[in-house]
Amino acid sequence: MNIIDTHVHLGDIYGKDLKTDKTPYPFKPNTYEQLGYRNIYLGKLNYLFKPLIVSSAKAMTQYANASNLIDSMEESNVTQSIILAVEPNVSTDSVLNICQKNPALIPFGSVHPYDQKKREKLKSYIQAGIKGLKIHPVIQKVSPTDPAMLELLEEASQYDIPVLFHTGWGSIGRGNYGFMYHFKVVLDNFPKTKFIFAHMGFYEPGPFIELIAKHDNVFCDTSWQPEGIIKKAIDKLGGERILYGSDWPYNLQSSSLNIINKITKTNTDLREKILYKNVAELIKL
Ligand SMILES: [Zn+2]
């Protein structure tokens, strides 16, 4: 069975010159997960773990290279991974380059909203083969409602590509730019753009799922969320708008995958949708 991981990073997305060298991937759950992050009852108490997540995220960045990713995909039977550029820290050109060498990797581009040449850049990246646009308001330090962001979204809406937004709190950058109230404005302005809300709002999955339920053009990935929340999302949104994602290297690809397999044990149709069909349709595979 084909499995696409919708949410994967290569390189140093934090822009702190962290090494992404050849250190072999350790294949063990991150500290945060070991401490019970995927615990539906912890909720916003997880904010207390903030310093731990920051140090864990920096530590995991060292594994963010293509050879470790290919090992991880083999280990977890993931057949394709979507690689997310985050400009200016991880350039679209570098992601396109890696994906050209590895046919199992699918590029999503990034353009910084404050980039003076954002229109031309987006057009050239689309011509070069990106399958979607990644926006990270927290790391890029631009509010989703900033006029420059809305301009970029306006431009993206002219092309038939999905826009994958980081949503919810983020460990490094402007954490509050991922909070839910910003996204209401975005959704009111762009009812036709296909959005993927990564992480389902992280610590705010309940309100985010409510918001997504009101907008048919919004999808979400399952990275970081525990079983109970993913089940709730399936109940509220139906199986068609849920996409398997890991946020590798920050989580094991197998962690999120095992949860989906568990939830869809008796429903192979739903499993195929979440692991492959939904995203394949979005990116027109
Ligand atoms: Zn991510």
Centre of ligand 1 to C-alpha 236, Å, is 24
Which residues have CB under 8 Å from 270's CB, separation 6+? 234, 239, 264
What was the pLDDT predicted at 40? 52
What was the pLDDT predicted at 170? 82
Centre of ligand 1 to C-alpha 61, Å, is 11
Centre of ligand 1 to C-alpha 13, Å, is 9
Centre of ligand 1 to C-alpha 76, Å, is 19
Centre of ligand 1 to C-alpha 223, Å, is 8
Q: List the one residue out of 248, 30, 283, 12 whose CA is nearest residue 132.
A: 283
pTM of the model: 0.95
Which residues have CB under 8 Å from 241's CB, separation 6+? 212, 218, 219, 220, 278
* Distance in angstroms (rounded) separating the CA atoms of residues 97 and 50: 34
Centre of ligand 1 to C-alpha 84, Å, is 8
Q: What is the mean pLDDT of each run of 10 residues along the chain (285 residues)?
A: 97 90 82 65 67 81 95 97 97 98 97 98 98 97 97 96 94 84 94 97 91 98 92 97 96 93 96 98 97
Centre of ligand 1 to C-alpha 41, Å, is 23
* Distance in angstroms (rounded) separating the CA atoms of residues 267 and 86: 35
* Distance in angstroms (rounded) separating the CA atoms of residues 131 and 211: 25
Sheet of strand 80-84: strand arrangement: 4-8, 80-84, 105-108
What was the pLDDT predicted at 32? 66
Q: List the one residue out of 236, 164, 155, 161 whose CA is nearest residue 189.
A: 155
